[in-house]
Structure 1
Amino acid sequence: MSKFEIIKHIHYGKCNDVFISRDSKGNKYAVKRFYKSELEKTKCYTNRQGKLVRKDWLEDFKRSLEIQLMVDDDSCIRCHAVFGIDLSKEVPVIEDEIELVFDFAECGSLMDLESFDVPIVEFPKKVVKCIAKDVLQALHYLSTINVAHRDVKPNNIFMNKHGRSKLGDFGESDLMTKDGKVRGSKGSYYYLAPEVFELNNDEKDGSAIDMWALGVTLWILYFRRFPFSPNNSMYESMEEVQNFNFKKEIEVLKRSYEGSGEEWDEDFVDLLGKILENDPNLRIKPKEALNHPSLSDVDYEVARLFCLKNQKSPL
């Protein structure tokens, strides 16, 4: 880490800490420091017989890191350097601390939903449209390199001082098959697509799964409310998501807007409906969504001014 100077500690976590760092030219980065001992603990669980089972955390870490290093587009948070682990060896060399150096986003993630609180700041609807366009660009890019993010949510979307949003945290990501398929259930269950809850082990369209998660995210940011009950158990969420009726829910919302003076954008609601399509085969693709009329008037200057006002760090 001699090339990067740590200048501020901005996040304390169980398995990792996050710092703001600076290189010799004064460029700022986010450094995520993982602790090997804590990573090992996260892969321990007790089975039905009461025995402690130890899974190989390294395989998951290697997979996510290899995918993160593949990602090279302005729409995503990129990893610029890795310290403490050498994947080039047949048996990886691992130090007690592993550090990854990422793009630094001055405004941080869009919001912290761990406790399902409302956003810390209210996102103007014009800013939400900027976010939508940027993340759609990220999802389109990922589809071209056969990567499914698998955990699209407000926590994993970051904004920089220029008002641009970037998709980050590829810890749950998967490489898709040649025809764009993934298997299994991953990510935060509140954002899982209806098809993921189906009781079969069939392969699913990875990009379509990410699109649904983006739809839930945009609903939360745009309407400042949740499309599903945030306090549901996973099984309750499964039922609610599979029975979700976009047109019905939108009609209820639209009535609540009448007389409120709040803006109602029919074009954007139309796009949202195409993203939150229950049938993954009919769900709009990222590239098609980028050309939707609702995103033709996106104004990044509005987003830049919003970020200037809400920038977390003065550094």
Structure 2
Amino acid sequence: MTAGGEEALRREYVIGDEIGRGRFGTVRRCYAAATGAPFALKSTPKAPLRALEADPLDLALAEQEPKVHLLVSAPPPASRHVVALHAAFEDADAVHLVLDLCEGGDLFSLVSAGPLPEPEAADLAAQLADALAGCHRRGVAHRDVKPDNLFFDASGALRLGDFGSAGWFGDGCPMTGLVGTPYYVAPEVVAGKEYTEKVDVWSAGVVLYVMLSGTVPFYGATAGEIFEAVLRGNLRFPPRAFAGVSPEAKDLMRRMLCKDVSRRFSAEQVLRHPWIVSRGGSAAVAC
């Protein structure tokens, strides 16, 4: 991480308008001073995080985000479908991350308009699986895979971003802690157990379910009710929502949303599933 904080940042980048706001910080457009190349600048003030004495996990995750994101961005790139970290600056007041600029919106906006055709869903699922496989090869689990964290770049390619909840599992390091978003979190996370990178595959399976049906597989009116539904893991395909969805697509979702972690697919296995291959998803990853 680059020392010098915002002063050093402003020497190297011209900071522009705000384009997003998250739980703890803001995202602004910025430009490399030397070349004019556009980037996104994520700035996280430290003061709000230090105030979270009741939830030290948030502070720990925020402090490790630059290191984990750099790990999945370092050359050779883990995957072209990961939002890359180009530079990081830190001082006593804040952490600033210079990231790829994705101006094509996010998957949440796309699926909010309704279910996607199978070829499009397979294409996007393949790109997501490629991103996860690249992260997992480097010992990093994203732990908050959801449509809101999947962005489109200028070429229309899907990019996995926001590594603020990511965890390191390399060298056999166990992961614990209730991290993620209720609708998308894996049952072993909710159960308070140690878990593996396959929690990302579960979340990706929920994303695929949403892309094909416009609904979530495990629903509740409160976070507690959602967690109960996730723990039951009773996966169903209501006829009204899945009338036109192929058996092959349902087979893949069953393998991704499998409560038995030993039988749940890995990201690499998702890429090799016949539905992904036959629908052209794999070709999209290679482009």
Task: Tell me the TM-score normalized by structure 2.
Answer: 0.83
Change (3 A) 1:14 1:138: closer
Query: Can you list the C-alpha shifts for 1:52-77, whole angstroms capped at 9, x where unaligned?
Result: xx959764332222111111231211
Give the secondary-structure state (helix, strand or coil) at the position aligned to 1:178.
Answer: helix
Aligned residues: 269
Structure 2 residue identity aligned to 1:269 = K
- Superposition deviation, residue 195 in structure 1: 1.9
Query: Aligned pair in 2 of structure 1 residues 230, 22: CA closer, same or farther (>3 Å)?
Result: farther
- Counterpart of 2:36 in structure 1 is 26
| Matched residue, 1:197 | 190
Residue segments in structure 2 that go unaligned for 5+ positions in a row: 1-9
Contact 2:68 2:168 in 1 (8 A): yes
- In the superposition, relative to structure 1, how do residues 125 and 180 fare at CA in structure 2: closer, same or farther (>3 Å)? farther
Q: How do 1:282-293 and structure 2 match up within 5 A?
A: 282-293=263-274
Give the letter for the 2:189 counterpart: V
Aligned to 1:82, the other structure's residue is in SS state strand
Q: List per-residue Cα deviations over 1:97-143 (Å, max 9, x = no partner).
A: 4321001111132227xxxx971576444322222111111111112
User: Is contact 1:77-1:166 (8 Å) kept?
Assistant: yes
Q: Which residue of 2 aligns with 1:280?
A: 261
Q: Tell me how far 1:33 sits from its aligned partner.
A: 1.5
2:143 equivalent in structure 1: 150
Deviations 1:232-282 (A, max 9, x none): 332x22221122333xx12x23x5554xxxx42322222111101111110
- Kept in 1: contact 2:61–2:166 (CA 8 A): no
Name structure 1 gaps, 5 residues minimum. Answer: 46-53, 86-93, 304-315
Q: Indicate if the aligned counterparts of 2:178 and 2:189 stay in contact, CA closer than 8 A.
A: yes
> Which residue in the other structure is 1:100 paired with?
97
Q: Which amino acid aligns with 1:64?
A: E
Seen in structure 2, the aligned counterparts of structure 1 residues 169 and 13 have a Cα distance that, compared at 3 Å, is closer
Counterpart CA distance in 2 for 1:106 and 1:44 is 35
| CA gap 1:56/1:123 in 2 versus in 1, 3 angstroms | closer
The alignment status of 1:210 with 2:200, answered yes or no, reads yes
Residue 210 of structure 2 is matched in structure 1 by 220
Higher share in helix: 2
Residues 19, 31 of structure 1: 8 Å contact kept: yes
Shift in Å, 1:3: 2.5
Deviation of the 1:224 alpha carbon: 0.6
| Match 1:79 to one of 85, 98, 123 | 85
Question: In structure 2, do the counterparts of structure 1 residues 174 and 242 end up closer, same or farther at CA, with 3 Å as the change threshold?
Answer: same
Identity of aligned residues (%): 27
Contact 2:111 2:211 in 1 (8 A): no
Pick one of 13, 19, 23 that aligns with 1:4: 13
Q: Say if 1:147 and 1:174, in contact at 8 Å, map to a contact too.
A: yes
Q: Secondary structure at the match of 1:131?
A: helix
Instruction: Calculate the TM-score normalised by the size of structure 1.
Output: 0.76
SS in 2 for 1:282: coil
RMSD of Structure 2 on Structure 1 (CA): 2.8
